[in-house]
């Protein structure tokens, strides 16, 4: 728990949830992304449409799913379609407003690595691999990456490029703050720090010379309603 009575992970999840607008169509992976999307639905975005790679469209899970194939996602969906259809007719066709992604490594352009740590042919750590990430990153209209800030994760050079974001808005939500793709070369810029975090804390946890916005916002801490809703979901 941080001083204010909430953890850094809770702050990260709440900050991610706030970026969803009501009515957004959101493709959410399991874990924190799905949690953030479901939190948004319980708060300011009740009409947010959840799409899962397993083929469920418009799922309204009463409890956060452990896997994207949980029966609850199908049982509460507006439609269940095949996996090829989800990727071809829904994601590739540009019908997803927000794609959520996690990663083991990220670089200054928000390219992600979820494949290997170390050389591909003889990895130190074999990670799960691409999943839906390459096409979510390139086809979703907006991309939100959620991961904890550390020198191990925010690297100058990825061990493997698993996904590369497209041309739409890209935001990275961490336990320290928010980075957004800037204009032009689309390098990430620190645009906000969470309450109690200094810009230098973020710099120290970033493995490249971090660009910082002229005016860095401070993320408001989780409101009571946000924390209550989040804790009710994870209890």
Partner 1 sequence: MAEITTLAEAVAGLVGDGDLVALEGFTHLIPFAAAHEILRQGRRRLTLARMTPDVIYDQMIGMGAAERLIFSWGGNPGVGSLHRLRDAVERGWPVPLALEEHSHAGMANRYVAGASGLPMAVLRGYRGTDLGRVTPTVATVTCPFTGEELTAVPALNPDLTVVHAQQADRQGNVQLWGITGVQREAVLAATRSLVTVEEVVDRLEPRSGSVVLPGWVVTVVAVVPGGAHPSYASGYSTRDNAFYRDWDAISRQRERFTSWMREHVLG
CB 32 to partner 1: min, Å: 11
Tell me how far CA of residue 37 lies from CA of 11, 182, 209, in angstroms: 14, 24, 31
Q: Does the annotation count 180 as an active-site position? A: no
Residues that bind partner 1 (CB under 8 A): 23, 25, 30-31, 47, 49, 53-58, 65-71, 73-75, 78-80, 82-84, 87-89, 91-95, 111, 115, 120, 122-126, 128-135, 138-139, 160-164, 166
Residue closer to partner 1, measured from CB, 56 or 174: 56
CB 203 to partner 1: min, Å: 27
Residue closer to partner 1, measured from CB, 127 or 212: 127
Q: β-pairing, 125-126 with 188-194?
A: unpaired
Catalytic residue among 3, 10, 53, 156: 53
Is-contact 193 199, C-beta < 8 A?
yes
Residue closer to partner 1, measured from CB, 29 or 177: 29
CB 105 to partner 1: min, Å: 12
CB 34 to partner 1: min, Å: 9
Output the CA torsion sign for 99, 105, 110, 112.
negative
CB 214 to partner 1: min, Å: 30
Residue closer to partner 1, measured from CB, 73 or 197: 73
- CA–CA gap between residue 47 and residue 63 (Å, rounded): 17
Q: What secondary structure does DSSP assign to 122-179, as a single string? A: S-SEE----TTHHHHHHHSSEEEEE----TTTB-SS-SS--B---SS-EEEE-SSEEE
Phi and psi torsions of 187, nearest 5°: -70, 150
**CA-based angle 133:32:174, to the nearest 5?**
85
- CA–CA gap between residue 102 and residue 162 (Å, rounded): 11
Residue closer to partner 1, measured from CB, 139 or 191: 139
Active-site residue set: 53
């Amino acid at each position: 728990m941080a001083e204010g009575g909430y953890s850094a992970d809770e702050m990260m999840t709440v900050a991610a949830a706030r970026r969803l607008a009501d009515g957004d169509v959101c493709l959410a992976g399991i874990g924190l992304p799905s949690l953030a999307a479901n939190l948004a639905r319980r708060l300011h975005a009740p009409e947010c449409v959840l799409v899962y790679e397993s083929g469920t469209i418009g799922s309204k899970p009463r409890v956060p799913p452990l896997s994207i194939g949980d029966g609850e996602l199908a049982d509460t969906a507006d439609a269940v379609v095949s996996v090829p259809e989800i990727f071809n007719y829904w994601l590739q066709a540009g019908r997803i407003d927000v794609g959520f992604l996690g990663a083991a490594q990220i670089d200054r352009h928000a390219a992600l690595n979820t494949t290997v740590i170390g050389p591909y042919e003889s990895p130190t750590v074999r990670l799960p691999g691409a999943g839906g990430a390459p096409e979510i990153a390139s086809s979703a209209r907006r991309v939100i990456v959620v991961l904890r800030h550390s020198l191990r994760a925010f690297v100058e050079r990825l061990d493997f490029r698993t996904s590369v974001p497209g041309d739409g808005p890209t935001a990275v939500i961490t336990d320290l703050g928010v980075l957004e793709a800037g204009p032009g070369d689309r390098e990430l810029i620190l645009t906000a720090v969470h309450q109690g975090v200094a810009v230098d804390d973020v710099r120290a946890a970033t493995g490249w010379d971090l660009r910082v916005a002229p005016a860095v916002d401070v993320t408001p801490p989780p409101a009571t309603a946000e924390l209550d809703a989040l804790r009710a979901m994870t209890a």
